[in-house]
Amino acid sequence: MVRLKDVAYQAGYDISTVSKVLQGGNIHVSAEARERITKAAAELGYRPNLMARGLRTRKAGAVVLGFPCLDHPMYPAITEGAEQAATELGLALFAYKFPPEGAANALLDLVRQGRADGIILASEVPDCDFVKLATESRVPVITLNEYSTDPTLSVVLDDAAGFALQATYLAGLGHTRIAYVGVHPESTGSRSCEESFKESLRKQGVLIDPSYIFGGSFGGDNASEVVDQILKLEQRPTAIATASLTMGTRIIRELSTRGVDVPNQINVIGYHDSKQAEWTTPSVTTVRMPSVVQGRCAVERLFAVLNSQKSLAAEVISEPIEVIERESCCLLSEMNLPHLPND
Amino acid sequence: MVRLKDVAYQAGYDISTVSKVLQGGNIHVSAEARERITKAAAELGYRPNLMARGLRTRKAGAVVLGFPCLDHPMYPAITEGAEQAATELGLALFAYKFPPEGAANALLDLVRQGRADGIILASEVPDCDFVKLATESRVPVITLNEYSTDPTLSVVLDDAAGFALQATYLAGLGHTRIAYVGVHPESTGSRSCEESFKESLRKQGVLIDPSYIFGGSFGGDNASEVVDQILKLEQRPTAIATASLTMGTRIIRELSTRGVDVPNQINVIGYHDSKQAEWTTPSVTTVRMPSVVQGRCAVERLFAVLNSQKSLAAEVISEPIEVIERESCCLLSEMNLPHLPND
DNA sequence: TTGAAAGCGCTAACAC
DNA sequence: GTGTTAGCGCTTTCAA
């Protein structure tokens, strides 16, 4: 291991001078010293020992992106953005998949033990306990959902706009009988997504019957049951809006299994985007949310908090939100319906 | 922050005694001391400062699982196993998505700067440079492919067995005209997968024409071209074996687009498994490889290397390997072929 | 412009 | 069985 001391010896300067130069600030050091020290460091292949630095400065220079699972299609996008920002800010970014049980402590310990300076919590389920525990331990946390009591400690997507767009898009295709499959029916976030969806539809003169509203999950584990219920409906909807891409994909699969063709007999739209949406038959039309931007902003905000620039106002990421048109939706008039809905 | 010193004060013992007790070894300490110290630590909510400990012991107590991307369906499985082992061994496990360019140094610096003790490289593409650089820097690395010059520093899957099983399965369904779409045609690993596939087929009396062999990638980006070529073949194969689930999925999609029904007109089989394989129509039959075990063994091996128990012999994970039967394959006799192949 | 020195929290060798 | 002490590599204040 090459230490500051070794570089100092090689360059002929004191260790403290070397330290100053290698930190690259605007310190008052002669050009010659700067040059010789830089050269010596490069020759020796010096790398600062971050444990020693961290012990001294009480900063780890790292942040953690905590996930409940690695296979949700939204996470790669968040990670991509977070990584960009982390690189720019000189932070190390670790992805940490926390275990379902004891999630809170495993994650918080990363900071309490000095491995990281803060946490970005990308949990899909509301976890107020975590935020409370973090606050008590004074662990800086940015959530990617609105679980925080302090809205400036969250970076949320504008799901109201996202679901409004989803609704507008379906209405624009001519649909009037639309089912909605949400996620986490118990959470207020999901409730407001549903409200926004319905409200947007209402504005366009489309009313949605309560019996057309279903609960689900991001993973779409109950897709089969939901499809059964939808197909039992007295008046079958011509479109199904879902709150996750996976749910959309799995609903399409369940419909196919039962001989219902998408999009000809029923349309399905997802929420959030991923390359995988292209690989199924039919490919999945979906509302793409700016998850990359969200990841980026989360890291920037955490950085600001860590440096106590707490001036940042609460932020909602609302651009770009767009419908990615693929095969699972089409104009109502182009569908192959047994009989047109009667109103 | 609660320090050892604070616990010592509270318990009425010296800091060094506290240190010994809290490390939990078989140190000679009175039962009373042990009890009072443990109690004080709990009351105060003491967490060891890992930077201080690491500085002193020259160990980070953490290992890194380096990925090129987060969205390959194989990675969640590897991570799951790695995480189990890490938890058991008391190591922190970080997932680190390294940038395409400068991958080597970004990852190696994690160790050279003392953030982690070793690296598990889950790269899908051969990267000999990395292993060479790591060796030069004396950074412990376990690769999940056979790039290492030292076979004891890799934990590889028994792909020979996997592809043999794939071949056996297709032959068992009655197929004799089988196309093979590999990955990374340039690497020796892929070559031997192909050889194993062909050899296994040969043993069952099935010869595979060189024109039925195609190159590809894990991501299946050239699925469209491959399908075009396959459909142009004078004698169309009745089955397509692929070396990745994603490639298999995308090939099915491209076939559907062109009006070719899977499995009735052609069978497709993937390699590696994931929940996603269930969600498409048709669902994808695939060879499931023991990636969870691989992840677990990789961490265990790295741990052994870090503690210089270098006695471990080279290891190939070969259980369990099994075919997960889904809808993309069926008996040749049950297919709906325009005319049976003429031999 | 440069150097001396203290100390971050912890471990481990050693003395008592 | 318990305490003393040196020092891991670094930053930073202060003095020269």
Give the closest residue to C8 (Cα–C1′): A56
Residue of A nearest to B84 (CA): A99
The nt closest to B55 (CA vs C1′) is D8
Classified as helix, coil or strand, A65 is strand
Q: Which of B280, B283, B292, B327 is the mutation pick for testing A, counting most A CBs within 10 A? A: B280
In chain B, residues 15 through 54 whose Cβ sits under 7 angstroms from any atom of nucleic acid strand D: 15-17, 20, 27-30, 32-33, 52
The pLDDT assigned to A310 comes to 67
Q: Is the pLDDT of residue B85 over 50?
A: yes
Please state the pTM of the whole predicted model: 0.91
> How many angstroms separate the CA of B61 from the C1' of C11?
15
Q: Residues B139-174: pLDDT tens digits?
A: 999 999 877 778 888 999 999 999 999 999 999 999
**Proximity of residue A29 CB to strand D below 7 A:** no
Rounded to an integer, what distance in angstroms lies between the CA atom of residue A34 and that of residue A23?
11
Mean of per-residue pLDDT scores for chain A: 91
**Proximity of residue B233 CB to strand D below 7 A:** no
The pLDDT assigned to B343 comes to 47
**Residue reference for tokens 């032959």:** B171
| Helices and strands (DSSP H and E) totals, chain B | 12, 12
Mean of per-residue pLDDT scores for chain B: 91
Yes or no, beta carbons of A79 and B99 under 8 Å apart: no
- What is the distance in angstroms between the Cα of B77 and the nearest Cα belonging to chain A? 9
Rounded to an integer, what distance in angstroms lies between the CA atom of residue B18 and that of residue A221?
49
Give the closest residue to D8 (Cα–C1′): B56
Copy the structure tokens of residue B334.
Answer: 């049950």
**What is the arithmetic mean of pLDDT over B52-79?**
90
The nt closest to A51 (CA vs C1′) is D9
Fold of A159-289+324-339: Rossmann fold (3.40.50)
Q: Where are the domains of chain B?
A: 4-47, 59-157+291-320, 159-289+324-339
CA separation (Å) from A104 to A116, A121, A131, B73, B240?
15, 10, 9, 26, 46
Yes or no, beta carbons of B274 and A114 under 8 Å apart: no
In chain A, residues 29 through 58 whose Cβ sits under 7 angstroms from any atom of nucleic acid strand C: 29-30, 32-33, 52, 55-56, 58
Shortest CB distance from A75 goes to which of B48, B70, B114? Answer: B70
Yes or no, beta carbons of B48 and A283 under 8 Å apart: no
The nt closest to A27 (CA vs C1′) is C1
**Proximity of residue B307 CB to strand C below 7 A:** no
Q: How far is CA B220 from the centre of its chain?
A: 18
Give the CATH number of domain B59-157+291-320: 3.40.50.2300
**Proximity of residue B69 CB to strand C below 7 A:** no
Q: How far is CA A331 from the centre of its chain?
A: 31
**What is the arithmetic mean of pLDDT over B251-279?**
96
Given a contact cutoff of 8 angstroms between Cβ atoms, the answer to whether A130 and A107 are in contact is yes
The pLDDT assigned to A317 comes to 92
**Proximity of residue A15 CB to strand C below 7 A:** yes
Higher pLDDT: B70 or A173? It is A173
Rounded to an integer, what distance in angstroms lies between the CA atom of residue A203 and that of residue A163?
13
For residue A200, count other CB atoms closer than 10 A to its CB.
21
Please compute, for residue A307, the number of CA atoms within 13 A of its CA located in the half-sphere on the CB side: 10
> How many angstroms separate the CA of A55 from the C1' of D11?
10
Strands (E), chain A: 62-67, 92-97, 118-121, 141-143, 155-157, 178-181, 213-214, 239-242, 267-271, 285-288, 315-317, 322-324
**Proximity of residue A16 CB to strand D below 7 A:** yes
| Common-topology check for domains A59-157+291-320 and A159-289+324-339 | yes
How large is the C-alpha radius of gyration of chain B? 26
Q: Which residues pair with B239 in a beta bridge?
A: B178, B267
- B118-121 and B155-157 as β-strands: parallel, antiparallel, unpaired? unpaired
Yes or no, beta carbons of A70 and B47 under 8 Å apart: no
Where does the pLDDT of residue A311 fall: very low under 50, low under 70, confident under 90, or very high at 90 and above?
low
**What is the arithmetic mean of pLDDT over A92-111?**
85
Rounded to an integer, what distance in angstroms lies between the CA atom of residue A132 and that of residue A123?
15
Yes or no, beta carbons of B55 and A50 under 8 Å apart: no
Q: Residues B96-120: pLDDT tens digits?
A: 888 777 778 889 999 999 999 999 9
Rounded to an integer, what distance in angstroms lies between the CA atom of residue A145 and that of residue A159?
10
Give the closest residue to D6 (Cα–C1′): B56
